[in-house]
Amino acid sequence: MNARDLRCLAFEGDAATGSLRVLDQRLLPAIERWFECRSAGAVALAIRDMAVRGAPAIGIAAAYGVAIAVQEANRRGYPSIAVREAVEDTVNKLGATRPTAVNLFWALERCRTLAAQGADEASQFLELARAMHEDDAQGNRRIGETFASRIEDGMSLLTHCNAGALATGGYGTALAPIYVAHESGRRLHVYVDETRPRLQGARLTAWELSKVGVPFTLICDGMAASLMAKGKIQLAITGADRIAASGDVANKIGTYSVAVNAAHHQVPFHVAAPASTFDLSCPDGASIAIEERNPSEVTDWAGERTCPSGARVYNPSFDVTPARLVRSIVTERGEISPVHREQIAKVLGAPMDLAQPR
């Protein structure tokens, strides 16, 4: 299968009656089933429960969710003012699902702006969601093309979590250069961190790479340092959930360990992310909200408890890697290197356009 054909989101039908389908990532890799969202509430549930996950994908799903809410308001014959209220309610509901991935708030803000400009038809919101979806997929291909030349023939790379087609509008961010290099015939090997506690590496990245035919080896998170010490990894690359103005990167818990280990072993550590993942209103990583999830993700395994009852649990879903450990951030607008405030502004252009109102 070609990586371009992997998809996790599809809006089916017309603006008046269509629905959003998400490939249910809670069930992968065992079961490939699409979860149908016929209401904004269903989209919120899919995001909170991680049927759809990955920063760009949840932003796009939320935009479709707003279009579905407007569909319902149109069906009920609401006047414009009530449609705008429905958009506001939906934006608030969807914005309360997951706090760290800024793409969610970026997408919702665009929906809110469209409503403020007077849009009150589902077709207008669907057009916006579709444009975001397509832009993200195209941007990912640009990220892939920008960085692929750095993946030399015979190279072994490490990635953490899933920043592939399953996390985006298509093709992925961190996996995009890997796909481009693979498509151009380069031999490469990917070490995939399993990514405790939810196993996005084992369940999702390994699933994607198997589908596309990219050779990989699955490892437990704690194994990466010893592979680096043996010289088996030449480059590490991950995605991001939110990047502060300083270049500090919030991404899946365990990413910081990858970056520290990479620095210790002189393995370059890179991040790939679209411009919509930058939050220039966050001065640095310390101001990024980090989601904490249910302790059962840590205490239980396949429904069985794996620790004594009463064990205290810490379960942050993300951590922050300081900019000084990041060799470059690859975006659809170019590569940011060295990673610091001025270079970010230079590559992204007009930084104020990207500031997220809070």
Q: Which helix (H) or strand (E) holds 243?
A: strand 242-244
- State the residues that interact with ligand MRU by CB under 6 A: 53-56, 101, 161, 163, 167-168, 173, 200, 238-241, 251-252, 317
Other beta carbons less than 10 A from residue 345's beta carbon: 17
Phi/psi for 166 (5° steps) reads -70, -10
Nearer to ligand MRU by Cβ, of 93 and 98: the residue is 98
Min dist CB 181 to ligand MRU, Å, is 18
Min dist CB 119 to ligand MRU, Å, is 28
Min dist CB 55 to ligand MRU, Å, is 4
Q: Are 357 and 140 in contact (CB under 8 A)?
A: no
Nearer to ligand MRU by Cβ, of 97 and 246: the residue is 97
Q: Are 191 and 234 in contact (CB under 8 A)?
A: no
Min dist CB 201 to ligand MRU, Å, is 10
Min dist CB 272 to ligand MRU, Å, is 8
CA distance 233 to 225: 9
Q: How long a stretch of residues is the chain?
A: 358
H-state helical runs in the chain: 40-48, 55-75, 80-95, 102-116, 122-148, 176-183, 200, 206-212, 224-229, 255-264, 296-299, 341-348
What does the DSSP assignment read for 168-201? SSSS-STTHHHHHHHHTT--EEEEEE--TTTTHI
Q: Which helix (H) or strand (E) holds 157?
A: strand 155-159
Q: Name residue 87's beta-bridge partners.
A: none
Q: Does residue 241 have an active-site annotation?
A: yes
Nearer to ligand MRU by Cβ, of 234 and 238: the residue is 238
Min dist CB 261 to ligand MRU, Å, is 17
Min dist CB 253 to ligand MRU, Å, is 8
Nearer to ligand MRU by Cβ, of 121 and 297: the residue is 297
**Nearest residue (beta carbon) to ligand MRU:** 239
Say which of 241, 248, 279, 319 is annotated catalytic: 241
CA distance 326 to 309: 39
Nearer to ligand MRU by Cβ, of 15 and 320: the residue is 320
Nearer to ligand MRU by Cβ, of 18 and 239: the residue is 239
Nearer to ligand MRU by Cβ, of 53 and 112: the residue is 53
What does the DSSP assignment read for 288-329? S---B--THHHHEETTEE-S-TT-----BSEEEE-GGG-SEE
Distances (CA, A) of 331 to 4, 226, 229: 18, 30, 29
| Residue whose C-alpha is closest to residue 331's, from 354, 309, 299 | 354
Q: Which residues are catalytic?
A: 241
